[in-house]
Chains A and B, each alone.
Chain A
Amino acid sequence: MPAAAKPQSSRKVAARSSRTAAKPKPAAKQVAQAALVVGGGVAGMQASLDLANQGFKVYLVEKSPSIGGRMAMLDKTFPTLDCSACILTPRLSEVARHPNIKLLTYTDLEGVIGKVGNFKVRVIKRARYVKEELCAGCGACAKECPVEVPNEFDQGLGFRKAIYVGFPQSTPSTYTIDMESCIKCKRCERACERKAIDLEMEDERVEFDVGAIIIATGYRLFDVRRYYRLGYGRLPDVINAMEYERLINAAGPTQGHLIRLSDGKTPQSIGFVQCVGARDVNKGVPYCSRVCCMYGIKNAVMAKEHNPSTDVTIYYADIRAFGKGFEEFYEMARTRFGVKFLRGRAAEIIEDVRTGKLHLRAEDTETAQPQEFEHDMVVICPGIQPPDDLDKIAEKLGVAMSNDGYVDVVHRYFGPVDTKMPGIFVCGCADGPKDIPDSVTAGSAAAMKASIILAKGGAA
């Protein structure tokens, strides 16, 4: 079986990727039998498991304190309405337990030099101020901590302590101290029976050699504050889809009770707004974000499940239900759950100060009537974007980016997980919006490509 198609770019590019010039090749042309996976979301975890199960060593680097990524934040997935955490958490354990996977969480990529088969990677393990080998994740420290700050995992809707885990199934279960919020009262130190707290801990530089690298950095939501007319950021009852996920999640800040952020009341009428931060030439995102129609429908179904008497409407221009089971899911949302679909993009969201309700202006294009629709809550379903630091990571790796900020691939059809840098692969949302099944598939594909290098000693 021929090796992977040779990527176009020249070797010179590999040497450019770091401060020092490329060193002369080591005498023994031994391909390092390990791989680096950047990003511990569902795609990165899949890639790591597939490589590890073949016997290769995997360094899984994740910038946040826990692996799990976005999928850990979701409540249910489409189109099956599986509980996201229920299907994900066994994998978190599998990854953590795997003898071939070295989990480096709360770690940033600092630099990479070398070339395919022989990359020298340097990462910074940021100080958690808690010793990983001693912490049992019992939480006694957090109980004592007097500082409460917004929890990033809950999109800022709930709180965590300065010493925290983002969510109960955080993997590793080691606690982390957010030193910016910590007041150094040392109550956690006194509470910890295993003496795991070390407030003098420093960042640690770790270096290792790998033969192949996989980028699996995931996505962030489009910042909907850029749409002033939709009121996100000004009107408390206008929320985005990830905040919605946390609110309906039983492990979330409100224990799964969907409430209005303004007054805590249960919304009786909810509007979902599609195509925000996607299919918009004015905001530099002309492309379709692929997943928002389906996750919007899924969210609408969840609202009905939580409270069948809620009036739920989705405001859309097109419904793109392209995948297996998607059209049936759309149909089920309409017929079985009674979600209303209004064909008309939402123009403006206004607050009626007297009633505290939101008014959404849209034209019902099927009747040609522009109207104001009243809702208690509006959920904006943003398009998904490359993460903020993807361009820096790409620069460190010498990997080409496309115009829209995603990692560029060698060939759309025959090299969809190959970046233009030999030995570096990409999966998940780092090269474009994808849902969970496609991200996992890409993770396996990238692992396969990486293992060809590791097994055969470099690119053919």
Chain B
Amino acid sequence: MSETAHEPRNKIAHEPKSTFSQEIAAQPGGEYIRKCIQCGLCTASCMVANYTDKYRPRKMVQKILIGEREEVLSSELPWLCMTCRLCEERCQEGVSLAEIFHVVRDIAAREGHIPKVFKDTVNLVMKDGWLLKGSYTDFEQDDRTSLGLDPDLNWNEEFMKKVKARYFGKEPVEGGEQE
């Protein structure tokens, strides 16, 4: 890139845009993110990366390392990780990608970026105490009885109300629509 009398057309940034990587590294699970050497072992192992064009775990870690906070937090990509942890098992530098993406999701949710399906499911479990109350009909009850299983599932609904009050305020989970 030769220096000329006027400014170079593309400014090369020599520092990360923000301290996002330190923010991630401060959370449990994110500690070793700065060990990443961008070798691509994770992406090669990732089933999602192998079946999509948009998702590359290595690139997401790269974006975090160069400080692209807004881009990463508002993206749906961190929510595509299946937490299968094949990448974590294989990473030779000890980077825990699925945990890093969990930390990213946690921060993203707090700042109002959460895909609709996650928001809806969380609200549902807050309300009912478990996920499938609405799907547990007479048919399923009969199935259980015919198998000799107790049709009364005994789920506790009260505790989730405490969880909701403590961690999510009085309103159901707020969040922007994703995608």
A contacting B, Cβ–Cβ less than 8 Å: yes
Total interface residues in chain B, CB < 8 Å: 20
Contact string, A326-346, partner B, CB cutoff 8 A, digits 1/0? 000000000000000001111
**A345: B residues at CB distance < 8 A:** 39-41, 44, 92
Q: Quick one: which of A322-375 are within 8 Å of B by CB?
A: 343-348, 361-365, 368, 370
Chain B CB within 8 A of A279 CB: yes
Chain A CB within 8 A of B56 CB: yes
**B37: A residues at CB distance < 8 A:** 317-318
Contact string, B14-50, partner A, CB cutoff 8 A, digits 1/0? 0000000000000000000000011111011110011
Chain B, Cβ-Cβ closest to A278 = B92
From B38, B50, B90, B93, give the contact of A365 (CB < 8 A): B38
Chain B CB within 8 A of A282 CB: yes
Total interface residues in chain A, CB < 8 Å: 21
Chain A CB within 8 A of B59 CB: yes
Provide the bound-state CA to CA distance between A346 and B40, in Å. 8
Provide the bound-state CA to CA distance between A121 and B44, in Å. 54
Complex contact A347–B45 (CB within 8 A): yes
Complex contact A362–B44 (CB within 8 A): yes
Q: Quick one: which of B48-68 are within 8 Å of A by CB?
A: 49-50, 56, 58-59
Contact flag A363-B92 (CB < 8 Å), given A317-B39, A344-B40, A347-B41: no
Provide the bound-state CA to CA distance between A406 and B43, in Å. 34
Instruction: Give the one of B37, B40, B45, B94 with max A CB within 10 A.
Output: B40
Say what secondary structure dominates the interface of chain A: mixed
**A364: B residues at CB distance < 8 A:** 40
Contact string, B122-148, partner A, CB cutoff 8 A, digits 1/0? 000000000000000000000000000
Provide the bound-state CA to CA distance between A365 and B41, in Å. 10
- Least CB distance, B40 to chain A, in whole angstroms: 4
- Least CB distance, B48 to chain A, in whole angstroms: 10
Provide the bound-state CA to CA distance between A294 and B59, in Å. 28
Chain B CB within 8 A of A275 CB: yes
- Least CB distance, B60 to chain A, in whole angstroms: 11
Chain B, Cβ-Cβ closest to A347 = B44
Instruction: Give the one of B38, B39, B56, B90 with max A CB within 10 A.
Output: B39
From B45, B59, B89, give the contact of A368 (CB < 8 A): B59
Chain B, Cβ-Cβ closest to A318 = B37
**B46: A residues at CB distance < 8 A:** 370
Chain B CB within 8 A of A280 CB: yes
Contact string, A276-291, partner B, CB cutoff 8 A, digits 1/0? 0001111000000000
Complex contact A361–B40 (CB within 8 A): no
Contact string, A218-244, partner B, CB cutoff 8 A, digits 1/0? 000000000001000000000000000
Contact flag A370-B50 (CB < 8 Å), given A348-B45, A365-B58: yes
Complex contact A363–B43 (CB within 8 A): yes
Chain A, Cβ-Cβ closest to B90 = A347
Complex contact B90–A363 (CB within 8 A): no
Chain A, Cβ-Cβ closest to B39 = A317
**B93: A residues at CB distance < 8 A:** 279, 281
Chain A, Cβ-Cβ closest to B89 = A282
**B49: A residues at CB distance < 8 A:** 363, 370
Complex contact B44–A363 (CB within 8 A): yes
- Least CB distance, A289 to chain B, in whole angstroms: 12
Provide the bound-state CA to CA distance between A228 and B105, in Å. 32
Provide the bound-state CA to CA distance between A368 and B59, in Å. 8
**B92: A residues at CB distance < 8 A:** 275, 279-282, 345
Complex contact B40–A282 (CB within 8 A): no
Complex contact A362–B94 (CB within 8 A): no
Provide the bound-state CA to CA distance between A348 and B86, in Å. 11
Chain B, Cβ-Cβ closest to A372 = B50
**B43: A residues at CB distance < 8 A:** 363, 365, 368, 370
Instruction: Give the one of A346, A347, A361, A362 with max B CB within 10 A.
Output: A347
Provide the bound-state CA to CA distance between A275 and B40, in Å. 13
- Least CB distance, A286 to chain B, in whole angstroms: 8
From A279, A318, A348, A362, give the contact of B40 (CB < 8 A): A362
Top 7 nearest A-B pairs by Cβ distance? Answer: A363-B40, A347-B44, A317-B39, A344-B40, A280-B92, A363-B43, A345-B41
12 contacts between A and B (CB under 8 A): A282-B89, A282-B90, A346-B44, A347-B44, A347-B45, A362-B41, A363-B41, A365-B38, A365-B40, A368-B43, A370-B40, A370-B44
